[in-house]
Chain A
Amino acid sequence: MSRLIALALCCLSYSAWASEEHKLAKVQVRTDVQSLERGAETVISMCTGCHSLKYIKYRDLLKLGIAKEKVNSWRGSNPPGTSIPSQMSPEVAVKGFGSIPPDLSLMAQARDGRANYLYSYLLGFYVTPDGKSGNHLFPGVKMPDVLGIAGARTPEERAQIEEKARDVTSFLMWAADPHEQERKKLGYYVIGYLVLLTVLLKLMKMRIWSRLRNN
């Protein structure tokens, strides 16, 4: 009985923790190069005006599999080893927004809700009755509605923007943890190996302990 109570309490506390994040839209993060390339394109053309990606170098984009010509056009005269900079100087940013827009390289892992937060934030913009821009997840937001979700008129337009937000999220998820795919691939081998080893160890244990049975 008490065991059940304990178990129930565990589940309860878990669901209570999780419920904070319920209001976020769920996003299915993609990992194919095409999506990541589209996401990179959007981020570099629309976000690096204000945000930097200091842990991502142009060279990393090449390693990811994005075409060389494309990366070259993004980096301009910067050497491939440069981190992706923000086009806005800190002074201008502070003057315009009161703060420096945060670096985006770890952003997808830096808010509760992680990918879902990022996705919902990008789609969370709306126009207040007095014509100002607001965001459901960020009261008093200063960042403009870059993807233009508040201005979407038709369902098709909305779907297009959602698609874009999903690509941006996917790209920023990659940027936050570039080794994720490699990690998971290695993980399958490791777990497979461990299962084999554990079966062998269990057999060993059974064999050794069976000596005790008859005395």
Chain B
Amino acid sequence: MSDSKSMDKPLDCPERRNFLEKATAVVGGVGVAGASWPFINSMNPSADVLENAISEVDLKVIEVGQSQTVSWEGKPVFVVHRTPAQIAAMQASKGGPDPQEDTARTQQPEWLVVVGLCTHLGCVPTRDNEGWLCPCHGSRYDNSGRILHGPAPANLPVPPYKIVSSETIIIGVA
């Protein structure tokens, strides 16, 4: 390239100059974007938080007809040991406004596992024989966690879980 230039003809070789400028801008931009990733990602759940995303539940202590609330991802999860009568009733119905088969909501009919946050505004429903009643706005759920009536739009979600043996389930792993 020629080195002779003057103020009024600064762009001796505009293409090359443009290329250099663009290349630098692109490389610099990639760098800024790359450098911002660690900052953004640091706000995602950290490894110790993710560990809470897996909970082991001991089934031995839950008698037939009883329910236990365990913590998973910081949320309450209801684990219910259903009676044969409840199972039969649930399998005979499809629920309310958000119809779903009971068999689609359980892996083994005697164990129901649902996230215990009302799908309306996130209160924790209280347990009774019929299922659950949300204390905030009166949403009624059945013994399959399905919404029957009230403001809640959907059934209580079923978290991913695995029944490892007759004694334990692991919530958080499908």
Neighbouring B residues of A200 by C-beta, 8 Å: 20, 23-24, 27
Q: Which residue of A lies closest to B9 (CB)?
A: A211
A81 to B54, CA, bound (A): 10
Are B7 and A207 neighbours in the complex by a CB distance under 8 Å?
no
Judge whether A188 is part of the interface by a CB distance below 8 angstroms: no
Are B31 and A211 neighbours in the complex by a CB distance under 8 Å?
no
Number of interface residues of A (CB under 8 A): 17
A-B contact count (CB 8 A): 37
Distance in angstroms from B13 CB to nearest chain A CB is 9
Are B20 and A196 neighbours in the complex by a CB distance under 8 Å?
no
Partner of B24 from A59, A204, A211 at Cβ < 8 Å: A204
Judge whether A203 is part of the interface by a CB distance below 8 angstroms: yes
Are B27 and A197 neighbours in the complex by a CB distance under 8 Å?
yes
Q: Give the contacts of A77-104 with B (CB-CB under 8 A).
A: 79, 81
A contacts with B: majority SS: helix
Neighbouring A residues of B110 by C-beta, 8 Å: none
Are B28 and A197 neighbours in the complex by a CB distance under 8 Å?
yes
Partner of A196 from B7, B27, B51, B56 at Cβ < 8 Å: B27
A201 to B25, CA, bound (A): 10
A194 to B28, CA, bound (A): 9
A143 to B99, CA, bound (A): 68
Q: Which residue of B lies closest to A186 (CB)?
A: B38
Judge whether A215 is part of the interface by a CB distance below 8 angstroms: yes
Distance in angstroms from A2 CB to nearest chain B CB is 38
Judge whether A128 is part of the interface by a CB distance below 8 angstroms: no
Distance in angstroms from B15 CB to nearest chain A CB is 13
Judge whether A214 is part of the interface by a CB distance below 8 angstroms: yes
Instruction: Give a binary string over A183-215; 1 marks a CB under 8 Å from any B CB, 0 the rest.
Output: 000000000011011001101100100110111
Q: From known contacts A81-B51, A197-B27, A200-B27, infer whether A211 and B10 are also in contact, taking CB-CB under 8 Å.
A: yes
Distance in angstroms from B71 CB to nearest chain A CB is 14
Distance in angstroms from A165 CB to nearest chain B CB is 30
Instruction: Give a binary string over B1-12; 1 marks a CB under 8 Å from any A CB, 0 the rest.
Output: 001111100100
Q: From known contacts A81-B51, A200-B20, infer whether A215 and B7 are also in contact, taking CB-CB under 8 Å.
A: yes
Q: From known contacts A59-B51, A207-B17, infer whether A201 and B24 are also in contact, taking CB-CB under 8 Å.
A: yes
Neighbouring B residues of A194 by C-beta, 8 Å: 31
Indicate the member of A196, A211, A215 with the most B CB atoms within 10 Å. Answer: A211
Distance in angstroms from B19 CB to nearest chain A CB is 10
Are A204 and B21 neighbours in the complex by a CB distance under 8 Å?
yes
Are A79 and B6 neighbours in the complex by a CB distance under 8 Å?
no
Q: Which residue of A lies closest to B52 (CB)?
A: A81
Distance in angstroms from B12 CB to nearest chain A CB is 9
Distance in angstroms from B1 CB to nearest chain A CB is 9
Instruction: Give a binary string over B27-39; 1 marks a CB under 8 Å from any A CB, 0 the rest.
Output: 1100100100000
Are B6 and A214 neighbours in the complex by a CB distance under 8 Å?
yes
Q: Give the contacts of B117-166 with A (CB-CB under 8 A).
A: none
A211 to B11, CA, bound (A): 8
Q: List 17 A-B contacts (CB under 8 A).
A: A59-B51, A81-B51, A193-B27, A194-B31, A197-B24, A200-B23, A200-B24, A201-B24, A204-B20, A204-B21, A204-B24, A207-B17, A211-B5, A213-B3, A213-B5, A215-B6, A215-B7
Q: Which residues of A contact B (CB under 8 A)?
A: 59, 79, 81, 193-194, 196-197, 200-201, 203-204, 207, 210-211, 213-215
Q: Which residues of B contact A (CB under 8 A)?
A: 3-7, 10, 17, 20-21, 23-24, 27-28, 31, 34, 51, 56
Q: A193-B31, A211-B7 are in contact. List 6 more A-B contacts (CB 8 A).
A: A59-B51, A193-B27, A197-B31, A201-B24, A203-B20, A215-B7
